[in-house]
Structure 1
Amino acid sequence: MSELLDQLVRDQKAGLSHGITSVCSAHPLVLEAAVLQARDEGRLLLVEATSNQVDQYGGYTGMRPSDFRDLVHRTADAHGLSRDRLILGGDHLGPNRWRALPAAEAMAEAEVLVRAYVEAGFTKIHLDCSFACAGESLPLTDDVVAERTSQLIRVAEDAAGPQADRLRYVIGTEVPVPGGADHVLHDAPPTSARAARETLRAHHEAFAAAGLSGMRGRVMALVVQPGVEFDHHGVVDYRDDRTAELRTVLDDEPGIVFEAHSTDYQLPGALAQLVRDHWAVLKVGPGLTFALREALFALAAIEREVVDSSRLSHLVEVVDRRMLEEPHWWQEYAAGDERSRRLNRLYGYSDRIRYYWTDPETAAAQRQLLDNLEAAPLPLALLSAHLPSQYARIRAGQLAPRPHDIVVDRVRDVLRDYDRACAPRSKEYA
C-alpha cells in the first residue's frame, strides 16, 4: 500500500491534481458507504481510526486497533472490495487521550497506542504530539513536538520490524483539534509559511538526533491549517488567496504533500481547489456521520406517517434523552438557551451525536426504525419530501427503496463530492 501513497505524492509533485479522501469514522454504515463508493468507482480506500475512537483500551467505540481492522476487513469482504485496495491509518496518535497526566506518563501511554496500531497492520500513521500535558502550556514548541514525534516513530519502527519500510508518516504542529472546534469560530487563519518551515526544520533535526534520518523519505505529509474549520453552527470556507505563500513551503520537499484536516462541509469547488493547491489528503469524519444522522432523522419523520404509534422507534427522542443523561460528549459544544442547546446538540455541524450511536438504547432505536420501514411501504412522495436525492435515484432505478440502502446512499452523497475533488478519471494510482 505504501507504493500507492508514494504514487499519489509523485503525481502531486508532477503537477497532477490527484488526491485521496481519508474516511475518519468507525460507524458501520459509514464504513459500508465508503467501501461501496471505492468499489463502484474503482478507487483506493483510505480509512483512518482516530485515537479517541480506537485505542488500546477500546476508546469511545469499544474497539482496539485490531477490532477496527477486523471491522473494516469484514465490511470490505462483504461488499466485494479487495483488501489490497485498502489502507488503514491512525489519526492523531499521540498523548491526546492522556493530556491530564504528566508528559512522561502520557507519552508512555502514547507509545502503547502507536505500537497497537502498527501491530494491527495500520500503515499510514499520523503522529500528533501538539497537545500539552499536565503542567505544560500551549503552544508547545516545534522542538518539543518534533522530539516526541521522533520518540513515537522509534516505537512504530520497532513494532513493524522488517516491514517498517511500509509505514508512511504524517507530522505537524499546527494541527486542528479532532472533531471540529468547541467554540464559536469567526475565522481559521492559515498556517504561515514561516511556521510551516520551522516545523519541517524541527522535525528534520529531531530525526537526525534520534538516528532516524531515513524518515525523511517516509514522511509523506505535513498537516498545516489551510484556513478551513467548522464549529457547531458555522463553516470557515477555503480561500486559495490566503495560502499562496504557504503553498511554496513544500517546493523543496520532494516527498511531502499537505494533509488537510477538518475539511467537513467544504463546498465541492473548495475541495477541488484544496487538491489543486497540494492538500492531497482530505480528511472527513463528522461530515459523514452528519449525513448519516440526516438520513436517519428523515426516515424517523417518514416513520411517524406510516407506522402505527405503538411501534414507533422514537429515534430522535431516544438519542436526545441519552445525550441529556450522558452529556460528556456534547456539553462543551452547545452554548446558549435550551432551544439553542438542543439545536446544537441534535443538528450542529460538530455532530456530537456520533458519540452516541453505539449506546445500546440508541442502537436499538435505530434498528427498530430500519426494521419498521423495511416492513412498511415507503411512499415515494414522502421520500421526495425528506430525501430528494435518494428519491431521484430510486425513481431512476439506481437505488433500492430499502431504508438501509437509503441511509448508506445519503452518506455516499458526501463521498461523491470528495471523489470528484480527489479523483480525475486517471487510475494511475487508484
Structure 2
Amino acid sequence: MDDIVVIGAGQAGASLVAKLRKLGFEGKITLIGEEPALPYERPPLSKAYLMGDVGQERLYLRPASFYQENNIEVITGQPVDMIDRGGKEVILGDRRIPYDKLALTTGSIPRKLPAAIGGDLPGVFTVRTLADVDAMEPLFREGKRALVVGGGYIGLEAAAVARKSGMEVTVVEMADRILQRVASPETSDYFRALHTEKGVDIREGTGLQKLVGGDHVTGAVLSHGEELPVDVVIVGIGIAPAIALAEACELVIENGIRTDAQGRTSDEDIWSAGDCASFPYKGGRIRLESVQNAIDQAECVAENMLGAGKEYVPYPWFWSDQYDCKLQIAGLSTGYDRIVTRGSGWATSFWYFKGDQFLAVDSMNDARSYMVGKRLLEMGKNPDPEAIANPETELKTLLKA
C-alpha cells in the first residue's frame, strides 16, 4: 500500500486527504502545513472572524478528532525544507518522510508592498492567515483611520469590516475602477455606490507613492502627492501561487504548478490542486483561486491518485460578502462583449455574454439569478438575453428552453 504525503494544509489539502479515506485508501497519509493551526476556512478571515463574530474553533474545516479517527497524521507549524524527488522523500528539518505519491496543495501567497516604500512598517497587513487577522484586529477600532491598498474583493471586504467597526476608510486603486480585473463596469459601479453610501472614500486611478512612520505606520503619500494620516494599512493587491517548493525540485511551472487534466505534474508521482495549480481548460491553461475549485479539484486529484483517470472539468463559482450585500458569481467572464442587466437597485444581476454564448453571472442579493445562471452553465445552455432582461420572465423557464 502506498504512502501518500500532502504538502499544504489548507482547503485543498484537507479535502484531498478526506477524499482519499472516503474512497477507501488504507495506506499512510501525512498532511503537512506551515501554519500552527489545523486546516481552516479562509473566506471568513476578512469578514466574520475579523469582526469577532466567529471564533477560531468555528473556522476549522474538521475537528482534530476527524484526523485521529481516520489515521491521518497532521503536521502543523512546520514548513517543508525540500522535496527529494530522487529519493522520494519530503524533508522537514532533521525528519525525512518517504512517499510513494505526493500532492502539492500549497495554495497562494499575498503580494506585499515593497519595503522600499514602507511596506514592512508595523501596522501594514495582508489578509491571508489567522496570524494576519489576529495581528490587525486590535487596530480595528472606532475612530481609527484605515487605508486599503487595492480595490479587489479582498480589499473591499476588509474596507467593509473596517467601516462597520467605525473606522475612517480610504481605498486606493491604481486601475481606472475598482474590480477592473475581475468584473464588469456595471459591477464596479454597484460596489462603488455601496461603499460610498457607507462612507468609504474610494480613490480610483490613484497609486501609493510611499508609507511613512517610525515604530508604526502614520501616513501614506498617494501618487498625486497628497498625504493621508493612517493608523492601519490593509494590502489587497492580489495573490501569487505558492510555487517555491515545486520550483526548487524542478517541476514545470506555468502560471503555477503545471499539471495535466488529471492533476499530475511533470513528475508522474507528484500531483497538485488548488490555488497553486494550473491546468488545461478550453484549449488554454487556467489557475483558479476559489474555495470551490480547491475542493473539487482536490477531490478529483484524490480519485486520480488512486487510478481513476478522470479529467477535472471546473464549473467555477465565487462569492463575496460586503456589509449586508451578498455577491454570488457563477462562471468566468473572461472575453465577454455584452452585459445584460436584470433587476435594479439592491437586487441586481449582470449576465455576461460573448456573442450568443453565456459566460457568467454576477448576482447581488439575487440568489435566484445566481442559481439559474449556475445551472445554465452546467447544462451548457445559452439563454435568450432579451428574456433575461425582461422582468416578467420566470427565470426557471430558461432551464427548459
- Fold shared by both chains (TM-score > 0.5): no
TM-score (norm 1): 0.27
Higher RCO (CA < 8 A, seq sep 6+): 1
